[in-house]
Amino acid sequence: MTRPVYLVDGARTPFLKARGTPGPFTPVDLAVQCGRPLLARQPFDRRALDLAILGCVNVIADEMNPARVAALRLGLGEAMVAFTVQINCGSGMQSIDTAFRYIREGRHDMILAGGTEALSHAPLVLRQSAAAWFGQMAQAKGPMEQARAMTGLRPEFFKPVVGLERGLTDPITDLNMGQTAEVLAHRFGITRKTADAYAMESHHRLARAQREGWLKDEVMPAFTRDGAAHEHDDGVRPDSDMAGLAKPGPAFERPYGKVTAGNSSQITDGASWVIVASEDAVEKHGLTPLARIVDSEWAALDPSVMGLGPVLCSTPLALRNDLGAGDINLWELNEAFAAQVLSCLAAWNDAEFCREVLGLEGAFGAPDREDINTDGGAISLGHPVGTSGNRIVLHLANAMKRRGDRRGIATECIGGGLGGAMLLEAV
């Protein structure tokens, strides 16, 4: 049995740039900050939800299974089943996809699906050698054994490893995510100037969306315990220009690399939720859907070129639904790196690549630049890893409705060599 599935509403926090110290919100704090106003504006009792699913990558020690902690803090009730999903950058989309499949198959009628991440709270971890030494000290019996163990103390034991840095390094290829973008820039001839121009456009588009009020119903203010309000994505630079973007040196491959801090996604904190519902739930509660979730697709590829994940999942998704490039009116392609997005567009226009990798007769065709990330993306917004997949689906639905578009695809590359995509249709 397959049933129509709808995205009926959603909300997110502002994305807050990490600035060297833990931010004001933990992952669950963020999920609660946007979850409360989202649920408050619904015509149904929040306990009418069947399930809560939350994507999160960097789970902190005080919030194991953040989905359950958030569900309880949101007042969903002790009987509410809630679980956390993790597929790196795709976690927030995975929560929607899981909800979509449950509802399509008739197992549930209404699910709260989200993503949250507080990258500023990513842990500092001990080196393996330091952990071993502390273990020896803990097991030492008596002053003599403790004294002998003390002789193994080394100064480097007190220099922690940045957990986020290791988390953004692929354990198979030992390349960090920025280096994988450099691989693509070399393969598709992406220049530093082109990447910087894309980054500048991302900032200008987000600034325009904020100025025009297009994010008003999507972005909910977040309030700290001392009453400070965070109302907007704070990493945007409305005055971004090519001269400023030309100043930073290559971040990963000096001196000739194309990927810089300026044309990469920002490290941020943020959360997003959507409500996914069956046709029965829509009718029962008098809901007005934003869009219908038509289909989804996941793909896997060499981790060293993980940035091409959107090409490998979006293309078969479109073709399975008898759609060509020209049939998709709007795209949200998560901006991990400008060079990565541009490489995806180049790959879609490369007939040889499409024949050899996608099995097509010729080029699939890239989206028009006006129809991709029309209101900016992770370069200007930031990329809270477990959240971004949820945000791009929510914003795609909102932007399609605003523009009067019929179909859209939200897609992203995923660390580890994966890609995820979701096809939406207007209702």
Catalytic residue positions, numbered: 89, 383, 413
The single residue listed with the structure tokens 């699906």 is 113
Maximum alpha-carbon separation in the chain = 77
How far lies 360's CA from each of 36, 82, 291, 312, 340, in Å? 46, 41, 30, 12, 22
- Residue 271, beta-bridge partner list: 116
Q: How far apart are the C-alpha atoms of 93 and 31, rounded to whole Å?
A: 15
Directed axis angle between helix 177-188 and helix 338-348, to 10°?
Answer: 40
The single residue listed with the structure tokens 């930031």 is 382
DSSP secondary structure string for all residues of 268-304: EEEEEEEEEEEHHHHHHHT---SEEEEEEEEEE--GG
Q: How far apart are the C-alpha atoms of 295 and 407, rounded to whole Å?
A: 12
Q: What does the radius of gyration of the chain's CA atoms come to, in whole angstroms?
A: 22
Query: SS in 3 state form for 49-81?
Result: CCEEEEECCCCCHHHCCHHHHHHHHCCCCCCCC
How far lies 422's CA from each of 98, 245, 293, in Å? 12, 32, 7
Q: How far apart are the C-alpha atoms of 219 and 214, rounded to whole Å?
A: 10
The single residue listed with the structure tokens 């949101």 is 74
